[in-house]
Amino acid sequence: MTWRIDGRKKEKTILLDTTLESVAEIRKLEVNKNEALIKHGLDVSFPWQNENGKVDIIHYNLESAKLDWKESLILNRMKSGTIEIYLTAIENLMRVCGKTCSVKDVQFQDIEKMKQKSSHLSDTTINMRLRAIKTFFNWLCDNEKIIKPPKIKQISIGVTLPRYYSEEEFGLILSKVDDELLRRMFRFYRDTGCREFEPFDSKLNSIGLVIPSGRTKNSYERTIELNEEQITTLKDIRAWVDYKVINKIANRKNAVKRIYRIWKMACDDVSLGNKTRLHYLRHTFAVMEWLRNGDIYLVSKKLGHSSVTTTEIYTKFELCQLREDFPSLIRKLGDGGQFLVGSHSIGYNYGKA
């Protein structure tokens, strides 16, 4: 059965499931009687396809669609963290519509209601979830589960530049961190641009940190080159996490999150307002690299972005402001030098932090 919608050819195959010509003719007549329903986008189950022995309309609900979409995302090598974000968005929608709501019954008003219920989140986070829902309905459309996706209206927000820590702010924050190993780890994040969990979910070799394809946003393996100091720091912080796990102080996930909390507490101690996320050290790395080499393609590669368009946001900063925020970097560049590798103490007591 073929038809067209908005100029696009649609096709649906209904198996008659018989070798007898006479039975096939009868079943074909049944299919033709329900042709309008099929072309309208409904999933029709015929008597020879179900246990009821009659024509039924199959309602494909949000819960089933979410599970199928998850399988599709995994099959297409989507990053696990991104899959989690996508599914969270669908779960928010299900809290408004219900798990058993047919995917064809979701309306613009339902999505607007979901936005209202998410008012405690930032506009950026809400828009991220709306983009996930749009991707979900486009996938449903591609798989002919719906004819047309519902209208989705994102929140209008201005372009917000990434937050970073100036050299002075970074020094003040570190002064509030008593633990020497954690101070080294925070420098590691700033000087490598690693995402929060990457140091713990990746393989360490003689060159540096090999981040597997399943943990990168562009689904390709990448390597972050590390110097000897950084490799030592990474080994020590992994030993710190192992100590917490082995001694049942915390599980692995919570041990790593402890690092985030210590950073936030240190930021709070120097009154930086909302600028308390460890992820902002990645932005700090990006603006420092941009200031250091002026090559946005190289910065994009070091960050592991799939497109340089994502990286171009860092070029929006005024260079005069960046030079003022990173005076030591400017002095090093002016002298043709490089960052000096600091020293660290040995015999660390893993139980004290």
> What tens digit of pLDDT does each residue of 121-162 get?
888 899 999 999 999 999 999 988 888 899 999 998 877 899
CATH (residue range 167-334) = 1.10.443.10
| 62-142 homologous superfamily | Tyrosine recombinase, N-terminal domain (1.10.150.130)
C-alpha 128: how far from chain center: 9
Boundaries of CATH 1.10.150.130 in the chain?
A: 62-142
DSSP label of 204: E
Name the pLDDT band for 69 (thresholds 50, 70, 90): very high
Rounded Cα distance between 54 and 3, Å, is 25
CA dihedral 182, 287, 125, 83 (to 10 degrees): -70
Decide which of 57 and 117 is more confident: 117
Q: pTM of the full predicted structure? A: 0.65
Partners of 222 in the β-ladder? 211
Rounded Cα distance between 49 and 55, Å, is 9
Rounded Cα distance between 241 and 84, Å, is 24
Rounded Cα distance between 188 and 77, Å, is 28
pLDDT exceeds cutoff 70 at 16: yes
Boundaries of CATH 1.10.443.10 in the chain?
A: 167-334
pLDDT exceeds cutoff 60 at 325: yes
CA dihedral 214, 216, 220, 221 (to 10 degrees): -80
Weakest mean pLDDT among 38-47, 89-98, 120-129, 163-172: 38-47
Query: How confident is the model over 221-276, as pLDDT tens digits?
Result: 889 999 999 999 999 999 999 999 999 999 999 999 999 999 999 999 999 888 99
